[in-house]
Amino acid sequence: MSDEAYSPAPADERLLACRVLAPWLAHLEQLHPRGQAGIELGLERVQRVRQELAQEPRCPLIVVGGTNGKGSTCAYLEAIYADAGHRVGCYTSPHLLNYNERIRVDRQAAGDALICAAFARVEAARQAAGNIALTYFEFGTLAAMEVFLAQRVEVLILEVGLGGRLDAVNAYTPDCAVVCSIALDHTDWLGSDREAIGFEKAGIFRAGRAAFCADPDPPRSLLAHAQAIGAELQVLGRDFGHFGDSLQWTFWGRGGLRRAGLALPALRGAGQLRNAAVALAVVESLRPRLPVDMQAVRRGLVDLALPGRFQVLAGRPTVVLDVAHNPQAVSGLAEKLIELPFAAKTIAVVGMLADKDIAGSLASLAGRVDHWLLADLDVPRGAPAVALAATVRQCALGGEVECLSSVASAFRRSAELADENDRILVFGSFYTVAAVMRSRQNDR
């Protein structure tokens, strides 16, 4: 059956009245012929349901895209605006442990009842618009906006799911659009080179609206698109940027603007200064509508934590969790490991999706891993552990190799192998990090 001919079953009255998430999420997974993992880019479906819902945000709206750095940039903006006293709505994906993580109001995950009520409104609109087969992400995006409108937020931050031009988030018109970085990922949908991918990501820019690029070497396609539509583009290193030392840094912007004496961002890694700088560029752009004092900026940069982004767990051996899943992100992870204390041995727990550049991703850790624990991912797009092992061997990455049937079993095996002076590195996918988090919860 083609996707176009697919007609999902509408929710019954019991589900429409349900205020528990699990049944609703099961319903969302059945709406599209490809299930939860289904990716179908395009704005027509979500626009039709959005019109039925009459969703018209009135507050400033920021859309954040890019290959890597989206989550960090959203987190900085969310923290700064919240510390400035504004009521903030923030939508990100995917989640690690609970769906509620995707929809936050004033930095708190929305409750089941609030999300389910929004799901019910979206479901009614979906049926009224012709029983449209929304994807899991499209349905969730519309529901998140319902939550934010009901909660009367004063600033909206929406993270792009995939690409930009045809992503569901792009159904809304941003006052500021951010592209954090452009690298090879999702090439089956976005194109095989940075020029093609840059064009897709630049699709979130709007004519006459502020646009920002935190990649210091943007593809020509991104620059050309911004110019063609008349977006007010600012590029890192040309229109705004940062400099500093190991103790503090300075943000600079157009017109000689300087914000000096800033503490280093709470999130680790050299790339975080780029993310923090573009967040401050957005704050400066929206300052006439959203006043923010420097105290809020200073607090927002350091008063946050982003689970699964180079998250170092307390205790010994050292355990590092990172959702890095493409070459650029894993390269950044490898650089950040240098900042950690010496480890006698590094044990890597890895699970990845089959449609990722596995060889390109793992290459950054060549010679840096003593023992690879490669795990099957029990999801539709999961790569078998034996495929990961073949890559490690073919690319001569070094270290011993073991294949395990699950991430949880691989993590348990890492505990058996590691001494207190060793390091356990968990990465490769959101699913991988989430599985370890759940395993640790169950062990407790």
The whole-number pLDDT of residue 116 equals 97
Q: Supply the pLDDT for residue 106.
A: 96
d(CA 180, CA 279): 10
Tell me phi and psi for residue 372, to 5 degrees.
-95, 125
Q: Are 403 and 386 in contact (CB under 8 A)?
A: yes
pLDDT, residue 14, reads: 85
Helix-then-strand count for the chain, H and E? 16, 17
Q: What is the pLDDT of residue 2?
A: 43
pLDDT at 286: 98
Give dist(CA 80, CA 75) in Å, integer. 9
84-119 per-position pLDDT tens digit:
999 999 999 999 999 999 999 999 999 999 999 999
pLDDT on residue 31: 84
**What angle, 0 to 180 degrees and rounded to 10, lies between the N-to-C axes of helices 136-150 and 44-53?**
30
Is the entire prediction scored with pTM above 0.85? Answer: yes
pLDDT, position 37: 54
Q: Which pLDDT value is given to residue 187?
A: 61
The confidence score (pLDDT) of residue 189 equals: 64
Fold adopted by 3-302 = UDP-N-acetylmuramoyl-L-alanine:D-glutamate ligase (3.40.1190)
DSSP string, 303-335: S---TTSSEEESSSSEEEE----SHHHHHHHHH
Q: Which pLDDT does position 45 carry in this prediction?
A: 93
Q: Which CATH class is domain 311-443?
A: alpha beta
Contact 400, 293 (CB under 8 A): no
Cβ neighbours of 160 (radius 10 Å): 26
Element (H, E) at 251: strand 248-252
| Residues of the chain under the 70 pLDDT cut | 1-7, 33-39, 185-187, 189, 444
Spans of all domains in the chain: 3-302, 311-443
